Amino acid sequence: MPVENVIDLGLMVAGPAGAGVFASSLLLGKTLMRHGFSVFVTNEYPSLIRGGHQWAQVRAVFGGYSYSHRKTVDAVLALDKFSAEVHIADLKNGGIVVCDEGDAPTQADPRVVAFPLRRIVKEEGGPSVASNTVGVGVLLGALGLRIEIAERVIYDQFRGKKEAAELNARLLRRGFELGRSLELGVRDRVMSLKPAEEGRSLLIDGNSAVALGALSAGLTFFAAYPMTPASPILHFLAEVQRDLGIVVFQPESELAAINMAIGAAYAGARSMVATSGGGFSLMVEALGQAAMTETPILIVEVQRPGPSTGLPTHTAQGDLRFVIHASQGEFPRVVLAPGDPYQAYVLGNVGLNLAWKYQVPVIILSDKYLGESYWTLKDLPQLGVEEGKVSRESVNGTFPRYKLTEDGVSPMVFPGTPGSLVYANTSEHDEYGFGTIDPLKVKAMQEKRFLKLRKLREEAERSGVEVYGDGEVLVVTWGSTKMIVLEALRRISGVGLLQVVWLEPFPKNKVKSAVHGKKILVIENNMTGQLVSLLREHLFLEPADVLLKYDGRQFYPEDVEAWIASHLEAR
């Protein structure tokens, strides 16, 4: 589509926790998506149950793809006075702030449009918190969106709650009528759009996507202790467990969660846990247990800033080196880092299958920005289950669970298999699982476990990197920062992007081939340049420059764009 026909909208909802900021942003996002827009929704909030300031941004692009948020927006729905005063600075030229007449800033500003949002709620007999729905209606009217589509979203959101749905639909329409009086430049173009065919797109977050991916790989047991920003995985799987026939359990701690998952996998269940950095710290000893017992397990680590409790509700990429080296001793593991919900879904499947194929711990390293942001996806592929070396035939006597094999992977038999005795041992052991200090057996068993690395490295070389575009300059990054770089590169030519998807084993040959002859720039969301350290370690590669950010926020594409442009000018 010609650039002049592309519609690029930025909307923000801001207010105190408990005012419906996130619900409003999803209502806006889903309504725009059903009009045919590509939508991205992200949020920022403090670690509080009620109170404290939070915001959510909805970026919607018609005629292109919405990769990420940007610094400025067309309209802000402010749900308190503080938000109206603060976020006026985020407006584009011609943008407006919509708020209740009681929240308008003391000094008049033509960019602030005040309506009786709370009075309308009172007239309709609703709770005062519902003023956010009236405000969303104002934005819909100002943008020229179709109210009937938004009402269908309302009824979907309040499925099974008829009275609440009807009330919110009325509030939405009252706000919509008010919004039609506003003059926003894009309205005529939006009104001319043909709505998208419903059911053809998803608005999905990274946490739900990784859970769906694991389900597609046969997940049957999930345990987690709530920890932001990984908790939505627990919430999502708990909601669907009865429909899907899986077991979802919240034990008393992260230690219990991973040990339960290891026990379930030992008994034959395809198991996963999810946590953030602090919870993963508590799981580390059990990580080694999974490695020594060669029990398949998938761990999702959704990063937030540390150390300690750090910034519980913000984002970072500071745990890369930690997860690669965590636990005592040496053993093979896999670390995968998705950059968007599609990859999160695929790697959720791949991760669980790899764990069972090679009987090693597999860690998916996500982050808050990916886990809690939403993107539009057209479809998710059908993926299946790879069982690995599992023997289900009757065994007569003790089974050689740790049998020495050419590829280091021993056949598994589960307790309960007729005639079999199956031993697992967290201390060094022989082929039958009995403890040993015999130096020859100790050496053989350690070498057997590391034999798996040969095939795992081949897997990493096959699918460990993604390359976007081409040019003399190559930006290298990992995780969700990929989406920020793609947004920045929308306006820059002659620059490619390399995303490292497999961090362990590191796909060094594939990376080496991709960076050959290029000027290398690295971008990552931490203070010490942990991906850079891997490039030095595996390739002796020194980038031309590195852009780091470690304030708990994801990069803005505008800043990345300016940084890359400065290097192009310097050539």
Lowest mean pLDDT among 44-48, 75-79, 279-283: 44-48
Q: Position 48: which residue type?
A: L
pLDDT class of 436 with cuts at 50, 70, 90: very high
* SS3 readout for 494-529: CEEEEEECEEECCCHHHHHHHHCCCEEEEEECCCCC
Lowest mean pLDDT among 20-24, 104-108, 163-167, 227-231: 104-108
Q: How many CB atoms lie within 10 A of CB 307?
A: 9
pLDDT tens digits, residue range 176-219? 999 999 977 788 888 888 777 766 799 999 999 999 999 999 99
* Mean pLDDT for the stretch of residues 120-131: 96
225 three-state secondary structure: coil
* Mean pLDDT for the stretch of residues 221-229: 98
pLDDT at 416 > cutoff 90 = no
pLDDT class of 3 with cuts at 50, 70, 90: low
* Mean pLDDT for the stretch of residues 313-329: 98
* Mean pLDDT for the stretch of residues 129-139: 97
Integer Cα distance of 131 and 120 in angstroms: 8
Integer Cα distance of 349 and 315 in angstroms: 24
Nearest to 50 by CA among 86, 82, 20: 20
pLDDT > 70: what percent of the chain? 99
Lowest mean pLDDT among 51-55, 69-73, 228-232, 242-246: 51-55
pTM: 0.96
